[in-house]
Amino acid sequence: MVDDDRTIRDFGDQWSHYGSNEGFYASLDLLQDVLGPLVDVAEFHGCRVADIGSGTGRIVQMLLAAGAAHVVAVEPSVGVEILRSNTRRFGERVEVIHGSGEVLPRGRELDFVVSIGVIQFIEDPLPTLEAARAALRPGGRLLISVYGREGNELYVRLVQALRLITTRLPHRALAGLSSALAVCVDAYLVACRWLPLPMGDYMRKTFARVEPEKRKLTIYDQLNPAYARYYREAEIRKLLEAAGFGGIRMHHRHGITWTALGVKPV
């Protein structure tokens, strides 16, 4: 098994090079795209929310823009310093915790816990999800987004083959490779406008709106961490049930990722 500490170090290094959040990449439109029909971003207004795996604070900033009253930002890597810097202007509306997801304090009576694009990088995410349930109020909701396997099989095989090499590359080499791949992806994006290609819906409706530098980061993000898992719908349902959540609903976002909602029993 891959050491979780190595994955955390990988992300800490990543965030030291890519610390900014702006444009569509950090917008409410993108957050709504991730959440799909499960939750409207307006539902965060006035709520107490935790964000597990905050990185540089991109999702935190989205939640605050949606009107969240208070956000607990949990980040285990050294990127926590960039997170603090990026969210300092929000004052007491943001509480930063330097630690992994399972250290989220119990009994916080939170309305939401979110973890967008993080759970797939944790080898055993159950303790993190159990901590999320313990921090929620009765009836509070968990929202997670993870890499999906269904509809993604060819892409998964390609990325997994690349990751045999890229997870061992130093930053400069991986950044150069990501830039080269971004050129190829941009050409694929153009082709998706005319041909019914795999991942075409995502490429046309979402990826095309992401700024070029953040497209490169999106590629880098998938090739960098030591551990990554692509989940099937049944695996996510089983995981949320094991963590004690009910009312589970799933959204197959653009047919390539899963967004899941679970409710803490009353």
Quote the pLDDT of residue 2. Answer: 59
DSSP one-letter code for 75: E
For residue range 213-231, what is the model confidence (pLDDT) as tens digits? 999 999 999 999 999 999 9
For residue range 62-109, what is the model confidence (pLDDT) as tens digits? 999 999 999 999 999 999 999 999 999 999 999 999 999 999 999 999
Do residues 116 and 62 touch, judged by C-beta distance below 8 A?
no
Parse the chain into domains and list their residue ranges. Answer: 4-148+231-263, 153-223
pLDDT over 80 at 1, yes or no: no
For 53, 139, 182, the CA distances from 57, given in Å and listed in that order, are 9, 26, 24
Q: Supply the CATH classification number for the domain 4-148+231-263.
A: 3.40.50.150
Parallel, antiparallel, or unpaired: how do β-strands 136-147 and 257-263 relate? antiparallel
Instruction: Please provide the average confidence, as pLDDT, over all residues in the chain.
Output: 94
Do residues 212 and 220 touch, judged by C-beta distance below 8 A?
no
Q: Which amino acid is at 1?
A: M
Whether pTM > 0.85 for this model: the answer is yes
Quote the pLDDT of residue 247. Answer: 97
Parallel, antiparallel, or unpaired: how do β-strands 246-253 and 257-263 relate? antiparallel
For residue range 145-181, what is the model confidence (pLDDT) as tens digits? 999 999 788 888 999 999 999 999 999 999 999 999 9
Exposed / middle / buried, residue 170 (Cβ in 10 Å: 0-12, 13-18, 19+): exposed
**Residue position matching structure tokens 């992300």:** 11
For residue range 104-150, what is the model confidence (pLDDT) as tens digits? 999 999 999 999 999 999 999 999 999 999 999 999 999 999 999 99
For residue range 13-61, what is the model confidence (pLDDT) as tens digits? 999 999 999 999 999 999 999 999 999 999 999 999 999 999 999 999 9
